[in-house]
Amino acid sequence: MSQMNRREFLNVLAIASAAGLAINNREALAMRSSATSSSAASSVLGFYDLPKFGNVHFLHMTDCHAQLNPIYFREPNVNLGVAAASGKAPHLVGEHLLKQFGFRPGTRDAHAFSALNFVEAAKTYGKVGGFAHLATLVKQLKASRPGALLLDGGDTWQGSATALWTNGQDMVDACLLLGVDVMTAHWEMTLGDKRVNEIIGRDFKGRVDFVAQNIHTTDFGDPVFAPYAMKEMNGVKCAVIGQAFPYTPVANPRYFTPDWTFGIKEMEMQKTVDEARAKGALVVVLLSHNGMDVDLKMASRVTGIDAILGGHTHDGVPQPTIVENKSGKTLVTNAGSNGKFLGVLDAEVKAGKVSDFRYKLMPIFANLLPADVAMQTLITTIRKPFEAKLSETLATTRGLLYRRGNFNGTFDEIILDALMKTQNAEIAFSPGFRWGTSILPNQAITFEHVMDQTAITYPHTTVSEFNGEMLKTILEDVADNLFNPDPYLQQGGDMVRVGGMQYTIAPLEKMGNRISNMTLNGKPIDANKTYKVAGWAPVAESARENKTTPIWDVVAGYLRDKKSIAPKTPNLPKIIGMKGNKGFAA
């Protein structure tokens, strides 16, 4: 094998740098032993070479939360699994996840799927996601896979300032340009039923199938949307069934969809699968917003589904879990969030059934994928009226800011501190939303970053008086939503974020016994004493007309005053009974 000369080596480093590799990165330095600069560069830039397999192809995106531009996004270092979910995907983090899926520490894949060495790796590999970069990959994959369908699992029209200010139109236009074929939903419903129907009846008509087998009218139980879309691909009939988030009216205000019912509706799902099969579907795919734990249970109980392409819980799971049921097997996947991943499912259909498959969850590294010109032009046009507001620098952070995880993240601490200060409250609660981008140390915190954490249609701030008993009841209720051993009873996001107060949590205990040792300023919370509690995002009907200051103005004002944010230590509860759980980073 010939040696590379100095010029060839420098050329390789230049190519690697353009691809998002720091020159001291092990992948770049490993090129030194390669035979030629072209082969070394190819090993990096060929990251997205995925050989075609089979005759049926699905591309799957989910939970992008309206992030049109590339971002930083830190995966969780705490994602606890309980009961049957303990120690299994998606409840694997850090080195446990790397070991399970065969990723080497320090690699591009290790960074994409874990929070290990996040700051250093983010500086090395650059930002992720971005619709212009996603569009390039979608076009590449569709070109090599005739008839491939692009499926959108929902949580697309919410999560950014521009999505809020355009009533979701920015994302609708971007998804149409991207070439989405079939979609289901969750946060879309917080735009209200009239707006959802307007988009489906006007923008999507004849272009995108909006499917949800589990949404019916409250009066007569009629289906609101088509339960599935039947598509023919390379001579094979394929059914894509939709499953919207079952607990939308619980997790979000019911008044947005007052005439619709939701739910898991397992029996209806079985009937829908059977109907699609009876109409000739040789492949049945469920486009789900259940969350992966719910999907795993459903796959064991509903027969006839070949694959579940899932979302909601934002789990980036590299390979599917294969679930056996009484008539066969079902693949269960979950494709991450924030536009960071694209799932690719290739299947071979022979003799009237799926005989084999290949699956890969592909990270979207913006530095490795050139921006699609048409999509970048659209994004620039969308953002232009808002750029001055979005780019306002509010403060600088000296530490990493993030949200994702079962308990408080560092950006949650900013929200909680802002609420307690501005509302003169002893305690603050902030929802355990899984969306929200990350900010590296010494970066500016812009108004856009604040909106990435807070852009919802019910942003009202609240001040309430709760006694200690009610505080415990609230924490117990949220903990049960997260840690109930029956996935069908898990109704929310992550644990509510808590400011000012400390507590102990035992996830394996039963409802009512998980929360203990609640303290404030080192003193026990008194069950009968009243405490002033600040919060935001109330779901009650009575809060609808409450015109209090929206949360983004509260946080932005706080940051303008602070100007510089010291590194934050999350206010985490003491967690007991979970030693050895692989949902903790090693």
Residue 38 has pLDDT above 70, yes or no: no
In order of 61, 154, 176, 242, 329, the CA distances from 319 in angstroms are 15, 21, 28, 21, 15
Alpha helix stretches (DSSP H) within 114-166: 118-125, 131-144, 161-165
Is residue 140 domain-shared with residue 232, that is, in the same domain? yes
Is residue 317 domain-shared with residue 257, that is, in the same domain? yes
pLDDT tens across 345-361, in order?
Answer: 999 999 999 999 999 99
| Domains in the chain, number | 3
- Quick one: average pLDDT of 413-418? 98
Residue 137 has a pLDDT of 98
Is residue 218 domain-shared with residue 313, that is, in the same domain? yes
CA 289/CA 292 separation, integer angstroms: 8
Task: Say if residues 256 and 193 touch (Cβ distance below 8 Å).
Answer: yes
**Mean pLDDT for all residues in the chain:** 93
Exposure of 157 in the CB half-sphere (CA atoms within 13 A): 22
Is residue 321 domain-shared with residue 436, that is, in the same domain? no
DSSP letter at 337? S
The answer to whether residue 84 is domain-embedded is no
pLDDT tens across 464-491, in order?
Answer: 999 999 999 999 999 999 999 999 999 8
Is residue 321 domain-shared with residue 437, that is, in the same domain? no
The answer to whether residue 85 is domain-embedded is no
Task: Say if residues 127 and 366 touch (Cβ distance below 8 Å).
Answer: yes
Is residue 542 domain-shared with residue 480, that is, in the same domain? yes
The answer to whether residue 81 is domain-embedded is no
Residue 46 has pLDDT above 90, yes or no: no
- Quick one: average pLDDT of 27-42? 40
Residue 492 has a pLDDT of 72
What are the two backbone dihedrals, phi and then psi, of residue 476, each rounded to the nearest 5 degrees? -65, -40
Residue that terminates a domain, selected from 351, 380, 409: 380
Residue 127 has pLDDT above 70, yes or no: yes
The answer to whether residue 109 is domain-embedded is no
Residue 542 has a pLDDT of 85
> Which tokens hold the place of 210?
């909006």
Residue 22 has pLDDT above 60, yes or no: no
Is residue 340 domain-shared with residue 408, that is, in the same domain? no
Task: Say if residues 137 and 49 touch (Cβ distance below 8 Å).
Answer: no
Kindly report each contact of residues 319-323 with a partner whose C-beta sits within 8 Å and lies 24 or more positions away, as own/partner.
319/89, 319/101, 319/359, 319/361, 320/359, 321/88, 321/89, 321/296, 323/296, 323/299
Whole-prediction pTM value? Answer: 0.93
Q: Is 222 left (phi over 0), alpha (psi -120 to 50) or beta?
A: beta
Residue 88 has pLDDT above 70, yes or no: yes
CA 101/CA 99 separation, integer angstroms: 6
Residue 43 has a pLDDT of 45
Give the range of the structural domain holding residue 503, as residue numbers without chain letter. Answer: 391-575
574-575 vs 283-288, strand pairing mode: unpaired
Is residue 477 domain-shared with residue 395, that is, in the same domain? yes
Residue that terminates a domain, selected from 311, 345, 380: 380
pLDDT tens across 259-284, in order?
Answer: 999 999 999 999 999 999 999 999 99
Is residue 333 domain-shared with residue 455, that is, in the same domain? no
Using pLDDT thresholds of 50, 70 and 90, give the confidence band for residue 24. very low
The answer to whether residue 299 is domain-embedded is yes
Using pLDDT thresholds of 50, 70 and 90, give the confidence band for residue 547. confident
The answer to whether residue 373 is domain-embedded is yes
The answer to whether residue 105 is domain-embedded is no
> Which tokens hold the place of 104?
């080497």
Other beta carbons within 10 Å of 460: 18
- Quick one: average pLDDT of 450-462? 97
Task: Say if residues 240 and 287 touch (Cβ distance below 8 Å).
Answer: yes
Is residue 474 domain-shared with residue 563, that is, in the same domain? yes
What are the two backbone dihedrals, phi and then psi, of residue 2, each rounded to the nearest 5 degrees? -75, 155
Is residue 404 domain-shared with residue 324, that is, in the same domain? no
**Which residue has 């308990």 as its token pair?**
407
CATH number at 510 reads 3.90.780.10
pLDDT tens across 490-545, in order?
Answer: 987 899 999 999 999 999 999 999 999 999 999 999 999 999 999 999 999 888 88
- Quick one: average pLDDT of 300-312? 98
Residue 102 has pLDDT above 80, yes or no: yes
Q: What's the chain's length in residues?
A: 586
The answer to whether residue 92 is domain-embedded is no
pLDDT tens across 147-189, in order?
Answer: 999 999 999 999 999 999 999 999 999 999 999 999 999 999 9
As a whole-number percent, the residues of the chain with pLDDT over 70 amount to 92
Using pLDDT thresholds of 50, 70 and 90, give the confidence band for residue 5. very low
Residue 543 has a pLDDT of 84
Residue 319 has pLDDT above 50, yes or no: yes
3 state DSSP class of 191: helix
pLDDT tens across 189-219, in order?
Answer: 999 999 999 999 999 999 999 999 999 999 9
CA 555/CA 4 separation, integer angstroms: 54
- Quick one: average pLDDT of 312-324? 98
Using pLDDT thresholds of 50, 70 and 90, give the confidence band for residue 435. very high
CA 580/CA 87 separation, integer angstroms: 9
3 state DSSP class of 118: helix
For CA atoms 488, 493, 495, 498, give the dihedral sign: negative
| Beta bridge mates, 434 | none
Task: Say if residues 284 and 277 touch (Cβ distance below 8 Å).
Answer: yes
Task: Say if residues 253 and 545 touch (Cβ distance below 8 Å).
Answer: no
Residue 27 has pLDDT above 50, yes or no: no
CA 44/CA 27 separation, integer angstroms: 8
Is residue 156 domain-shared with residue 215, that is, in the same domain? yes
Give the distance, in angstroms, between the CA of residue 240 and the centroid of all CA atoms in the same chain: 21
> Which tokens hold the place of 315?
């789990």
